Amino acid sequence: MFRSGAFVADQLDGIDAEQVQPNGVDLRLEAVLEPVGTGRITRDGKAIADRDQVESVAIGPEDREGYRLAPGGYILQYAETVSIPEEHVGFVLPRSSLMRNGAMLNTAVWDAGYSGRGEGLLQVHNEIELERGARVAQLVLAAADHEGTYDGSYQGERLDRA
């Protein structure tokens, strides 16, 4: 069973009322990174490719801070601190406005016990402008049985920047 947006909102810090949806909470864009170099995933571990921060520029008629992205792959960093409660699993889905503008957000499962400020992979197929602080994704939570809680290498990611 998926939980209500109000329940999901209780698991995040620093959100406002417009982010709370009937079935989840919108996540806002904090920063955009571009992978460079070579990443590696082996049977024994992983090495994440280096990333360059995409420079923000003035976008739109009001010259707000944002990003003008050419086709390619980018890492989006979300602004909100998320804590996935026990007996739940989190899924992050793109807002439909991304798809309607030729971009797609890919994410992974967020396990029970995860706490941090996560990331997603943005695939841009048509040039797009994204304002910093724009709502780009929606976090939903589903009830789930589990053995143990998340204690992996991404636990607490980017919390030092909160």
pLDDT in tens, 104-134: 999 999 999 999 999 999 999 999 999 999 9
Predicted confidence band of residue 162 (pLDDT cuts 50, 70, 90): very low
CB atoms within 10 A of CB 8: 26
- 20-40 tens-digit pLDDT: 999 999 999 999 999 999 999
Q: Are 113 and 86 in contact (CB under 8 A)?
A: yes
Give the residue numbers annotated as catalytic, written as ranges. Answer: 119
Q: Which pTM was predicted? A: 0.91
Amino acid in the structure at residue 103: A
The CATH class, in words, for 5-37+57-148 is mainly beta
**CA proximity to 105, closest of 90, 117, 94, 97:** 94
Q: Is 60 exposed, middle or buried (0-12, 13-18, 19+ CB in 10 A)?
A: exposed
Q: Are 123 and 101 in contact (CB under 8 A)?
A: no
